[in-house]
Amino acid sequence: MMTYSIGIDIGGTNTDIGLVSSEGRCLARKNLQTAKYFDAELYVKDICLMIEELKKDNDVKEIDGIGIAAPLGNYYTGCIENATNLNFKGIINLRLLFAKYTESPITVSNDANAAAYGELVYGGARGMKNFIMFTLGTGVGSGIVIDGKLVHGKTGSAGELGHVILIPGGRKCGCGRCGCLETYASGTGIKATMLEVMSQHPEYRGVLAQIPRAELTSKSVGDAANAGDPLAIEVFEKTGEWLGLAMANAVAFSSPEAVFLMGGPVKAGEVLLRPTRASFQKNLCFVYDGSVGIKVSELPHNDAAILGAAALTKA
Amino acid sequence: MMTYSIGIDIGGTNTDIGLVSSEGRCLARKNLQTAKYFDAELYVKDICLMIEELKKDNDVKEIDGIGIAAPLGNYYTGCIENATNLNFKGIINLRLLFAKYTESPITVSNDANAAAYGELVYGGARGMKNFIMFTLGTGVGSGIVIDGKLVHGKTGSAGELGHVILIPGGRKCGCGRCGCLETYASGTGIKATMLEVMSQHPEYRGVLAQIPRAELTSKSVGDAANAGDPLAIEVFEKTGEWLGLAMANAVAFSSPEAVFLMGGPVKAGEVLLRPTRASFQKNLCFVYDGSVGIKVSELPHNDAAILGAAALTKA
């Protein structure tokens, strides 16, 4: 029998709310502007009104639960903890706030954990017991599934592989340390690498030299690489080298059957994936040879965040 | 009621067999020379005879099971898989071989996993749900406990943190790659660091300059450091820097409540632990601040391997 759940993806600018069927389709969605709210209770109240509208419009009487992917969302406490990109400061107890307006069970986690769980419940990791998801975006997040369950650890903050120090003494990271994977393999990192490579090639007159520095993005580097720009290709060669090393190191921890990639920079495709696979194979410890593959998320990109959040209700 | 189990620690030279009580004491032990055997079946038969003697001598009628810690021992298959330091080549199915001579349940794993489980069942990790054990010896091994269970992963070879690449392009490792933690933080790595540091100080006339290079060990470096030798102290400063970084990186994976250290080099004490803690704190991502401690194994060193192997019977 078909059942339904709600997935909520909280971002600093927008909040997406989707009605998801048990077969993994986002049937309908609504949106509100996170940045317009300064009162968390009012914000949650408006979300709950939208959930009721989604149910009514789609003739859904019952939902299994509400899954919420939020920056610094903590699975154990149900809180958002000191997110820097939200107007709501300090500890926001989503579980308590939602309980005022709904009786549905609430599950909270961060976006990378939600992405991993979305892949497990609705995507390419269905049936897998052990895998790792890397999400590449403004930063690098990760979600780790062991024995069919998300790893939360003592604090609820397990799986922060974007903040593994890959290059000791390397690039300065927003976390205050140096050399984190995030500074190399995120969209921001790809842009930084492009600026480095351009600075080493003052003779470069290609398409990316025509874009003002402030407007350069990992997407423009990806488009240039796919159009054959040699410097942009070099940037993705370096990015793949770093990312493949980080992925091989992660394998030595949990011996997964697959490592998944998701997010904007992954849309560049083979220009990133080919050097990533090569570096992964080169850096993988021989005991794991042949046991683990690199895969790209199979969730539809537009709905991935909502599906991931909805999947948390099955956690 | 007191119950009993058998722990077997298989090494390339010796095999230790111990009778362990449920309160975590090794009541009696026997030993045979692994290296004298070329026939695995005869080897297992002799072990089983010794187990019967141990039971008889100590008036123990029943045992809960037999736990075996073996190089490249695989928890899933019950086999030793292509261990290079044993006379038995290829795949040795210990579970099948033991079943010929005993009806007790057999559990097999590698020595680092056994060490982690020993700490969980009998040592300082009692009551913990999430921790990581690093074992420093000729190499570096690790065992990872998440939600109260050892992580085995898809292959049974999860938790090879000695083969995480810590320094890209760094020291050549026995695994064929470069920069593995093992090349820096093992006994072998400590000796290599001492040789490096001595080569940078041709004026050095200290105690370690009096020892032939072939006889230099991590123990002699530790003794010299504790006696105030400045170069030996520098070696442990570097070792602690590397080890603390590797431990901090591992925390970002599973958010444990403690990271344990065990093994010969750890006996050097504060001369290693102080720089390790300093590096760990410096390299730990802020989200884990205050949530995780560094601890030294609480198992008695002489019995640790047997207790760890016996603890596998509770896995």
B169 and B188 share one domain: yes
In the predicted model, is pLDDT for residue B315 greater than 80? no
The answer to whether the CB atoms of B287 and A157 lie below 8 A apart is yes
A178 near B CB under 8 A? no
Asked if B293 contacts B257 with a C-beta cutoff of 8 angstroms, the reply is: yes
B44 and B182 share one domain: no
The answer to whether the CB atoms of A152 and B292 lie below 8 A apart is no
Residue A101 lies in a domain: yes
Residue A124 lies in a domain: no
| Cα–Cα nearest to A256, from B151, B154, B252 | B154
Total number of residues shown for chain A: 315
In the predicted model, is pLDDT for residue B225 greater than 90? yes
pLDDT digits (tens, 9 = 90+) for B42-56: 999 999 999 999 999
Residue A29 lies in a domain: yes
In the predicted model, is pLDDT for residue A126 greater than 90? yes
A271 and A256 share one domain: yes
Confidence of residue A1 (pLDDT cuts 50, 70, 90): confident
Q: Are strands B140-146 and B131-136 parallel, antiparallel or unpaired?
A: antiparallel
Taking the C-alpha atoms of residue B239 and residue B256, their distance in angstroms, rounded to an integer, is: 22
pLDDT at B31: 96
B293 and B263 share one domain: yes
Virtual torsion, Cα A306, A307, A310, A314, nearest 10 deg: -160
pTM metric for this prediction = 0.95
Residue A123 lies in a domain: no
Taking the C-alpha atoms of residue A120 and residue A310, their distance in angstroms, rounded to an integer, is: 12
pLDDT at A89: 85
- Percent of all residues in chain B with a pLDDT value above 90, rounded to a whole number: 94
The answer to whether the CB atoms of A255 and B157 lie below 8 A apart is yes
pLDDT digits (tens, 9 = 90+) for A137-178: 989 999 999 999 999 999 999 999 999 999 999 999 999 999
The sign of the CA dihedral A150, A154, A157, A160 is negative
DSSP bridge partners of B9 = B16, B69
B253 and B166 share one domain: yes
pLDDT at A145: 98
pLDDT at A86: 87
CA B83 to chain centre: 16
The answer to whether the CB atoms of A129 and B154 lie below 8 A apart is yes
Q: Which residues of A138-173 are buried (b: 16+ CB within 10 A; e: fewer)?
A: bbbbbbbbbeeebbbbbbbbbbbbbbbbbbbebbeb
Minimal Cα–Cα distance from B196 to chain A, Å? Answer: 20
pLDDT at B121: 96
The answer to whether the CB atoms of A285 and B175 lie below 8 A apart is yes
Residue matched to tokens 């949106």: A31
- Look up residue A286 and give its DSSP letter: G
- Which whole number is the average pLDDT over A34-48? 96
A35 near B CB under 8 A? no
Minimal Cα–Cα distance from A183 to chain B, Å? Answer: 14
Task: Enumerate the residues of chain B whose CB falls inside 8 A of the CB of residue A151.
Answer: 146, 253-255
- How does DSSP assign B191-247, residue by residue? HHHHHHHHHH-TT--SGGGGS-GGG--HHHHHHHHHTT-HHHHHHHHHHHHHHHHHH
pLDDT at A222: 98
Residue A199 lies in a domain: yes
pLDDT digits (tens, 9 = 90+) for B117-149: 999 999 999 999 999 999 999 899 999 999 999
Task: Enumerate the residues of chain A whose CB falls inside 8 A of the CB of residue B286.
Answer: 175-176
Mean per-residue pLDDT over chain B, rounded: 96
Best residue of A146, A177, A183 to probe chain B, by most B CBs closer than 10 Å: A146
A252 near B CB under 8 A? yes
What number of C-beta contacts closer than 8 Å exist between A and B? 124
Q: How many domains does chain B have?
A: 2
Where in the sequence is the domain holding B232, given as residue range(s)?
127-297
pLDDT at A82: 83
The verdict on ipTM greater than 0.85 is yes
pLDDT digits (tens, 9 = 90+) for A187-239: 999 999 999 999 999 999 999 999 999 999 999 999 999 999 999 999 999 99
Taking the C-alpha atoms of residue A255 and residue B163, their distance in angstroms, rounded to an integer, is: 12
Residue matched to tokens 């060990």: B217
Asked if A77 contacts A4 with a C-beta cutoff of 8 angstroms, the reply is: no
B315 near A CB under 8 A? no
Residues whose CB falls within 8 Å of the CB of residue B285, separated by 6 or more in sequence, listed in order: A160, A163, A175, A177, A180, B248, B251, B252
Question: Residue B286: closest CA among chain A residues belongs to which residue?
Answer: A175
| Cα–Cα nearest to A223, from A232, A212, A234, A214 | A232
Which CATH number does the domain housing residue B269 bear? 3.30.420.40
Virtual torsion, Cα B33, B37, B43, B46, nearest 10 deg: -60
In the predicted model, is pLDDT for residue A315 greater than 80? no
pLDDT at B302: 87
- Minimal Cβ distance to B160: which of A149, A155, A285: A285
The answer to whether the CB atoms of A245 and B175 lie below 8 A apart is no
A60 and A108 share one domain: yes
DSSP bridge partners of B18 = B7, B29
Q: Are strands B4-10 and B14-21 parallel, antiparallel or unpaired?
A: antiparallel
- Percent of all residues in chain B with a pLDDT value above 70, rounded to a whole number: 100
B167 and B275 share one domain: yes
A78 and A147 share one domain: no
The answer to whether the CB atoms of A253 and B159 lie below 8 A apart is yes
A237: phi then psi, degrees, rounded to nearest 5: -60, -45
The answer to whether the CB atoms of B165 and A256 lie below 8 A apart is no
Best residue of B80, B249, B279, B280 to probe chain A, by most A CBs closer than 10 Å: B249
Taking the C-alpha atoms of residue B165 and residue A257, their distance in angstroms, rounded to an integer, is: 20
Q: Which residues of A228-259 are buried (b: 16+ CB within 10 A; e: fewer)?
A: ebebbbbbbbbbbbbbbbbbbbbbbbbbbbbb
B65 and B206 share one domain: no
A50 and A174 share one domain: no
A162 and A271 share one domain: yes
Residue A264 lies in a domain: yes
pLDDT digits (tens, 9 = 90+) for B100-113: 999 999 999 999 99
Taking the C-alpha atoms of residue A262 and residue A298, their distance in angstroms, rounded to an integer, is: 9
- Which whole number is the average pLDDT over B259-277? 97
Task: Enumerate the residues of chain A whose CB falls inside 8 A of the CB of residue B156.
Answer: 255
pLDDT at B12: 87
The answer to whether the CB atoms of A152 and B255 lie below 8 A apart is yes
The answer to whether the CB atoms of B252 and A292 lie below 8 A apart is no
DSSP bridge partners of B242 = none
The answer to whether the CB atoms of B155 and A250 lie below 8 A apart is no
Taking the C-alpha atoms of residue B61 and residue B203, their distance in angstroms, rounded to an integer, is: 64
- Which whole number is the average pLDDT over A67-77? 94
In the predicted model, is pLDDT for residue B18 greater than 90? yes
Token pair of A250, please?
A: 């992660």
Token pair of B71, please?
A: 């190089």
A158 near B CB under 8 A? yes
A256 and A178 share one domain: yes
Confidence of residue B89 (pLDDT cuts 50, 70, 90): confident
Query: How big is chain B by its Cα radius of gyration, in Å?
Result: 20
Total number of residues shown for chain B: 315
Confidence of residue B86 (pLDDT cuts 50, 70, 90): confident
Residue A280 lies in a domain: yes
pLDDT at B29: 97
The sign of the CA dihedral B11, B15, B21, B25 is negative
Measure Cα distances from A47 to A20, A56, A119 in Å: 16, 14, 25
In the predicted model, is pLDDT for residue B291 greater than 90? yes
The answer to whether the CB atoms of B158 and A253 lie below 8 A apart is yes
In the predicted model, is pLDDT for residue B283 greater than 90? yes
pLDDT at A81: 86
- Minimal Cβ distance to B154: which of A180, A245, A291: A291
Three-state SS at A146: strand
The answer to whether the CB atoms of B160 and A287 lie below 8 A apart is yes
